[in-house]
Structure 1
Amino acid sequence: MPKIRQTGLRGPWSDARYVPTLYHFLGPFDVYDREETLGVELGTWDMNDAAQRAALIRRDITSQYKELGYRHRYMLVQVLKKALQDPAYDFAAILEHDPETTYALPAKWDGMDDPRAFFADIYRLVQQDWRDDLARAAAENPADW
């Protein structure tokens, strides 16, 4: 997982240090114990279709994550940016199902044709939809957080 320089920023729901990972982008798609409801609904989306991917990202990430503070979103986007800058980064590994965890993505997502494109779409859309907040955070000194 890419690492970014740590700040004193605390989590949005706890006093623990905020350490974002790419998995945070996938939270809205966690179907563990919801396979029969959310899993079925998400299974109708074709993640290999760019238009459907974009619509789902906007519905479940860019519009839902506005509850995070602008600094938290900025740090989260920086982790994604760093991963996308690494041509060898294995985005497919993030989508693989691990039966030992209580985390599960919809069926067939681990077989997505181009996982990098999915994360690149997330990056492109958050850059558009969160533009003002990302610019606000970028203008600040993270050491002051």
Structure 2
Amino acid sequence: MQKQNGLRGPWGDLPYEPTLYHFLGPFDVYDREETLGVELDTWDMNDPLQRAALIRRDITSQYKELSYRHRHALVAVLAQALQDPAYDFQAILEHDPESTYALPALWDDMADPRAFFADIYRLVLQDWHDDLARAAAEDPSDW
């Protein structure tokens, strides 16, 4: 994954090193299985229209704590993964019973995880267009 020069995390002074897991944060149901988990289970992640609506609701309209530079760095990681035809998007969705992070039930059985992440990419490019263009016009070494 690509590391940005000097970009610090939005919540502290550590270097910002985004991963694809950052896109999944709003869907973490650990210790919220009975609330958020139940609600997210009503969404069909194999239906492109429902998937897009959920992405817009929980990703593109959120992340207000991320600056335009953080958004740009995060999208760059996703673009890099999507450019790799062998990238295993399924592995990101796999349930790890030892983790304190959990996605909704059955998300690890999503029919086409690459399509899910491609939808995220397409929608963030649309919805974050101004922020991404602003960051692209800057030299990341100045961050």
Give TM-score scaled by structure 1 length.
0.97
Aligned match of 2:19 = 21
Using the TM superposition, give the Cα deviation of residue 65 of structure 1 relative to its aligned residue in structure 2, in angstroms.
Answer: 1.4
1:66 offset after TM fit, Å? 2.9
What residue number does 2:68 align with? 70
Q: In the alignment, which residue of structure 2 is the partner of 1:133?
A: 131
Specify the SS of the correspondent of 1:9.
Answer: coil
| % identity of equivalent residues | 82
Q: Quick one: which amino acid aligns to residue 53 of structure 1?
A: R
Matches within 5 A, 1:1-145: 3-145=1-143
Deviation above 4 Å: which 4+ runs of structure 1? none
Amino acid corresponding to residue 92 of structure 1 in structure 2: Q
Gaps of 5+ in 1: none
Alpha-carbon distance in structure 1 between the residues aligned to 2:28 and 2:97? 13
When normalised by structure 2's length, the TM-score is 0.99
The residue matched to 1:58 in structure 2 has which SS?
Answer: helix
How many residue pairs end up in the alignment? 143
Any unmatched runs of 5+ in structure 2? Answer: none
Deviations 1:90-130 (A, max 9, x none): 00000000011100000000000000000000000000000
Q: How much has 1:67 moved relative to structure 2? A: 2.6
